[in-house]
Structures are given as structure tokens and as C-alpha cells.
Chains A and B, each alone.
Chain A
Amino acid sequence: MSITSFEFFVMVALLVLVYYALPLRYRWVALLVGNGIFWYKGNSKAALVIMLAMGIVTYVLARLLEEKREQKGAKELVTVGVTLLAACMIVCRDLGFFVGNINGLCNLCHIPFQMPDVTIPSPMGISYFALIWIGYLLDVYWGVAHAEKNALKFALFCGYFPFMTSGPIISFRDSGAQITAGHQFDYEQFCFGLQRILWGLMKKLIISQRLAAYVDLVYGSYNTLVGTYVLLAMVLFVLQLYTDFSGCIDIVLGVSQLFGITLPENFDLPFLSKNLSEFWRRWHITLGGWLRDYILYPILKSDLFQTIGKKSKKKFGKKFGKKVPMWIGLLISWFLIGFWHGGGWNYILGDGLYFGILIILGEMLEPFTDKVIEKLRIRTETFGYRLFQYVRTFVLFTIGLSFFRAYGGFMEGLRIWKSALFEFSPWIFFDGSLIGAGLDAKDWNIVIVFMAVLAISGIIRYYTGEQIRVLVARQPIVFRWLLYVALFASVIVFGCYGIGYDAQSFIYQQF
């Protein structure tokens, strides 16, 4: 069930009615029913069985960990749980990747062995819920969360239907109580929720869907559409991914707000980042937070990394040496980020290690770049310099994402770059060549207008520090409602629906 589908919104509307009709202490049951419908509609029977088995194991292990915390055997229990969940995620999603690599290696070494290509049913949202459940087990083990005793409330949290498609990656310690508690109806929050859903639909149905038409066309025929067509497709894919993913998160957060639940934000104006490090603190925030808390910190605090730190400080001096274990930890984290996005070298290299290496290089070269800036007397506090930093970050991100979009693999990414650099043809922007390339003139105009709306809203938020919804809520009633109606009408009139223009599934849903 897509979260942009009519049946999804009918289900949400019915759940809202039932939720607020029930007594406060039973309201969570309505959401649990929502979970059940969503799981049933989104999974094959086999996938559902796998998911339920994983859930039961997590529930039982968390209860045992709660009892055995700081006793003998607790470490073994949590290790078993985390390994099992991670293994299920990898086997269900990425078995083909390993089989392909092993077979490729055998071919290369002339070993007469080929593994059969086995596909295991993958439960919907396994990439998200596996991380959430691993975090839950670790939190219980570390004593910062209590294991949920009520199995049904546990089922509600661990399979909360809005986050099953594309996150955010929440934690039980921060969001568990909110999801399982009943909430009073709050008119303001309810309206903000509806507005956020509309905003998300605008991003997805008006902008992302149209950009997809151009991007898919060019990436599908990069042998004939070369040069600037491809460079433009790379840039537009970044905007497509942003409007798709953040639009999805807007819908998820908006739906949750209808039930009085506030989930953590996943985006914070990422394109206004001065460097890649800052960018990744503003893009897919909850994934970064999860990796920091459950991978990076434990690695860095381990005895091995502490020893590496001591040795590197002796060798390279305190300032530089203390960064060495951090950089190794970062490379491991970025490898995992790439792998999490999908079993494929295009993801591991293009969306993982590429960013890790650039961030580390940036830190390594910082003393040198600071000297250059000082020598050239560049005024770093000016708007011009900030703009340069924003553009530089965007370009570096676009290069990485060009491999991410090369669904055929890393080598296809290289072929696409060869095609992009084949010729420089900026005239396609002026001679009408772009009209008909996936989009007609009307569609291009719609994209440009709504991207401008999005950019202006982002700039307003950046300078005021407030959400647009909050600012709009302070406006006179007539103006306010004019904006709401305009947004609603825009989604209805300009949204891409129906046969032949079906809303594609969300890009991040596939992970």
C-alpha cells in the first residue's frame, strides 16, 4: 500500500475517527489495527512470517535482557539478537549481491563453481525496522530503555505503520511512549498534520514525479542523450530524490501528527550546508544519528580504537593523532551507510565511501585551506563565500548521487560519466531541446514554479528559524485559508495521478 494512494488516506481517515472515538487508554489499539492492515497489504505471506519471527525474537530477547541486565549472559544475549536481526536484513535484501560477487570472483579465478541465485522474500521496510529493533535491544541492554512488557504495545511500536515505508529511524527511548500512549485531540496539531501531508504530496506528486520522467529517460538512454542532458539529469536526480524522500517523510510525520505523535525530523535544509559533514547532519538525520549512537561511538570507545588513538597521538602529535581513530571509525560507518542503501558497489562506493573519504580529506586539509584563505584574504563571513560553499557541497553531493542512481551498478555509473563528459552542449537550455525530453513545456514550467515555492519556503525558514506552517498560522484567516486552498488545489490539479502517470513508489522505499 503506497502512502500516496487513495486507499492509504481512506485507511488513515477511518483510523483517525476510530482513534478519537475510543477511550484515551485504548486509543493505541486503533493504530495497532492500522499496523495489521499495512503489514498484511504490504507483505507476502512468507515475508510476513519472517517479520513476525524477527519481532517475536526481539520481544523475547528484550524481556530477557531487562531481567539479566549487568548479569552474566546479557552480553551474549544482546550479541545474538543484534547478529540475528542484522543477518535477517542482509540475507533478505542482499543475498543476490553476495552471490553475484562470489560467482564473479570464481569466474575471475577460473574456479568452476557457481552459486544458485536464491531470492528470499523481504519484508516491507526491513531496512528501517531492523535498525530500529537493533537500537531497541541495545538500549535495553545499556539500561537507557525498558523492555515493553505488553506484547501488543511492542507490536505497535516496532511495526508502527507510517515509518515502515521510508523511516524516520526512530528509537524506543525517544518515541516508544509517545506511540503507545493515547493522545487528546489537539486542533492545532491536527491542522499542522494535515498541512504537512499536503506539503509532502506537493513535493512528491507535483515535483518529484515530473523530475522522474526526465531523469528516467536520460538514465535509460545515456548512449544517445549525451553531454549536458546527462549532467542536467544528475542535478535533477538530486532534486527528485530530495522531494521524493523529504515528501515521504512529510507525509509520515503529518499522519503521525494527526494522532498527536511527533516523530523526529529527518531533514533540515540540507542544501544550505557549508560542507559535506554539515550536509549529512541535515540529510537523513535519523540514519546518521543511529550510526553515531550504535556503530561509531561503540567502535571508538572500544579498547582497540583507544590503543590506536594512543599510538597515533605519539606518532603524529595530539591534535592530528587523536583524529586517526575517528577517521578509521568514519570509514567503517560510511561503508555501512553505503551498504545499508543496497547491496551494490554503486551504493557502497557512490553513497558511502566516497562521502567518507571526502569528509576525512576535508578535515586533513583544513590547516592548509585555512592558510590559503588567510593568504588570499578571503572574507569567509560574506554571502558570496557562503554561496560558494553551498554550491560546492551540492556539486560534491551530486557526483556521489550520480553513482547511487546508476541502478545497473558502479560500472554503469562510470559509463554515465563518460557520456556526460562526451560533449558540452549548454544550448539545449535555449533551443527547445529539453521540451519533449520526458516533459513538455507545461510540465517544465510547473516544476520550475513549485521548485521556486520550495526554495522560497526554505529561505524563509532559514532566516526566521521557524516552520512555514507556524508562520502561516499567525496570518489573517482569509489569507491563511487562501494558501491552504491553493496548496490543496495545486496537489489535485497538478499532481501526477492515474493510468499512464501512476505515482511511482518512493525511492527510499526500495531500501
Chain B
Amino acid sequence: MERAEIFAKLNEVFQDVFDDEDITVTEETTSADIEDWDSHEHINLIVAVEKCFGIKFNMGEVTTMKNVGAMVDLIAQRI
């Protein structure tokens, strides 16, 4: 799957989890850029991403992802 495709699918996941259709994520997007992306929503997001791509992140990856770009790197490695 191309990186652009991963981003397109991720956008849908983000929009669904945060109930906001205006969200567009980029490589540099972090939790600071999305109002409701706090530690509470982080796990909901992670689980939704796992489900969408049929992959699993380990807990270390869950706690150390710096931005969406890092998330896409991990997804690209797994699919």
C-alpha cells in the first residue's frame, strides 16, 4: 500500500474517532494539533487504526509514537 493510501485511510479513522470531518492529518500532525486527542482518546484511536489496517501495535510503540508520520511508518512496516 502506498503512503498516500495509508494517509487517506488514516484520515477516515481520525475523522471517525474524533467526530470531526474537517480533520486532515499530515506527517507532522501531533496530539497538540487535534483538540480532543488526549491520552484518553489515544487508545481509542490506536485500536481503531489497528482494526482498520488489521495490524497490532505493541505497548512500547503506543507510548512512543511522536506524530502521525511515525504511525504511518509502523503501519507501512506491518502491512
In the assembled complex, how far is the CB of residue B57 from the closest CB belonging to chain A, in whole angstroms? Answer: 9
In the assembled complex, how far is the CB of residue A305 from the closest CB belonging to chain B, in whole angstroms? Answer: 9
**Is B24 in contact with chain A by the CB < 8 A criterion?**
no
**Is B46 in contact with chain A by the CB < 8 A criterion?**
yes
- CB atoms of A301 and B43 under 8 A apart: yes
Complex Cα spacing A406 to B51, Å: 48
**Is B39 in contact with chain A by the CB < 8 A criterion?**
yes
**Is B32 in contact with chain A by the CB < 8 A criterion?**
no
**Is A306 in contact with chain B by the CB < 8 A criterion?**
yes
Q: Pick the contact of A300: B43, B58, B60 (CB < 8 A).
A: B43
Interface stretch, picked from A91-99, A289-297, A378-386, is A289-297
Complex Cα spacing A298 to B39, Å: 12
User: Which label, helix, strand, loop or mixed, suits the secondary structure of the A interface?
Assistant: helix
- CB atoms of A297 and B47 under 8 A apart: no
In the assembled complex, how far is the CB of residue A279 from the closest CB belonging to chain B, in whole angstroms? Answer: 14
Complex Cα spacing A143 to B74, Å: 13
- CB atoms of A144 and B61 under 8 A apart: yes
**Is B26 in contact with chain A by the CB < 8 A criterion?**
no
In the assembled complex, how far is the CB of residue A288 from the closest CB belonging to chain B, in whole angstroms? Answer: 9
- CB atoms of A143 and B62 under 8 A apart: no
- CB atoms of A297 and B61 under 8 A apart: no
Complex Cα spacing A141 to B47, Å: 21
Complex Cα spacing A173 to B66, Å: 14
Q: Which residues of A contact B64 (CB under 8 A)?
A: 144, 173
In the assembled complex, how far is the CB of residue A299 from the closest CB belonging to chain B, in whole angstroms? Answer: 9
Q: Pick the contact of A301: B19, B39, B40, B47 (CB < 8 A).
A: B47
Complex Cα spacing A322 to B61, Å: 22
Most A CB within 10 A of own CB, among B19, B44, B58, B60: B60
Complex Cα spacing A510 to B47, Å: 39
Complex Cα spacing A292 to B39, Å: 8
Number of A-B contacts (CB under 8 A): 42
Interface residues of A in 135-159 (CB under 8 A from B): 138-139, 141-145
**Is B63 in contact with chain A by the CB < 8 A criterion?**
yes
Q: Which residues of B contact A323 (CB under 8 A)?
A: 40
- CB atoms of A142 and B60 under 8 A apart: yes
**Is A16 in contact with chain B by the CB < 8 A criterion?**
no
**Please, how many residues of chain A have a CB less than 8 angstroms from a CB on the other chain?**
21
Q: Which residues of A contact B58 (CB under 8 A)?
A: 142-143
Q: Which residues of B contact A309 (CB under 8 A)?
A: 44, 47
**Is B79 in contact with chain A by the CB < 8 A criterion?**
no
In the assembled complex, how far is the CB of residue A284 from the closest CB belonging to chain B, in whole angstroms? Answer: 15
Complex Cα spacing A173 to B47, Å: 24
- CB atoms of B44 and A293 under 8 A apart: no
| Nearest A-chain residue to B57, judged by Cβ | A301
Complex Cα spacing A293 to B61, Å: 10
In the assembled complex, how far is the CB of residue B43 from the closest CB belonging to chain A, in whole angstroms? Answer: 4
In the assembled complex, how far is the CB of residue A21 from the closest CB belonging to chain B, in whole angstroms? Answer: 37
**Is A72 in contact with chain B by the CB < 8 A criterion?**
no
Complex Cα spacing A292 to B64, Å: 12
Complex Cα spacing A326 to B42, Å: 11
Q: Which residues of A contact B19 (CB under 8 A)?
A: 319
Complex Cα spacing A407 to B41, Å: 37
| Nearest B-chain residue to A326, judged by Cβ | B40
Most B CB within 10 A of own CB, among A173, A300, A323: A300
- CB atoms of B59 and A301 under 8 A apart: yes
Q: Which residues of B contact A297 (CB under 8 A)?
A: 39, 42-43, 59, 62-63
Interface residues of A in 287-334 (CB under 8 A from B): 292-293, 296-298, 300-301, 306, 309, 319, 322-323, 326
In the assembled complex, how far is the CB of residue A72 from the closest CB belonging to chain B, in whole angstroms? Answer: 16
- CB atoms of B60 and A296 under 8 A apart: no
- CB atoms of B39 and A296 under 8 A apart: yes
| Nearest A-chain residue to B39, judged by Cβ | A292
Instruction: Tell me whether A301 and B60 are in contact in the complex, defined as CB-CB below 8 angstroms, given that A296-B39, A319-B19, A326-B40 are known contacts.
Output: no
- CB atoms of A322 and B44 under 8 A apart: yes
Complex Cα spacing A296 to B44, Å: 12
Complex Cα spacing A292 to B60, Å: 12
Complex Cα spacing A293 to B43, Å: 11
Complex Cα spacing A465 to B59, Å: 33
Complex Cα spacing A300 to B19, Å: 20
- CB atoms of B40 and A142 under 8 A apart: no
In the assembled complex, how far is the CB of residue B63 from the closest CB belonging to chain A, in whole angstroms? Answer: 4
Q: Which residues of B contact A141 (CB under 8 A)?
A: 60
- CB atoms of B44 and A301 under 8 A apart: no
Most A CB within 10 A of own CB, among B43, B47, B58, B59: B43
Instruction: Tell me whether A298 and B47 are in contact in the complex, defined as CB-CB below 8 angstroms, given that A144-B64, A319-B19, A326-B40 are known contacts.
Output: no
A-B contact pairs, 11 of them (CB 8 A): A142-B58, A142-B60, A144-B60, A292-B63, A293-B59, A296-B39, A297-B39, A301-B43, A301-B47, A323-B40, A326-B40
Chain A interface residues (CB < 8 Å from chain B): 138-139, 141-145, 173, 292-293, 296-298, 300-301, 306, 309, 319, 322-323, 326
Top 5 closest pairs, chain A to chain B, by CB: A142-B60, A144-B60, A300-B43, A293-B63, A326-B40
Q: Other than the known A292-B63, A297-B59, what 4 A-B pairs have Cβ atoms closer than 8 Å?
A: A142-B60, A297-B39, A297-B62, A301-B62
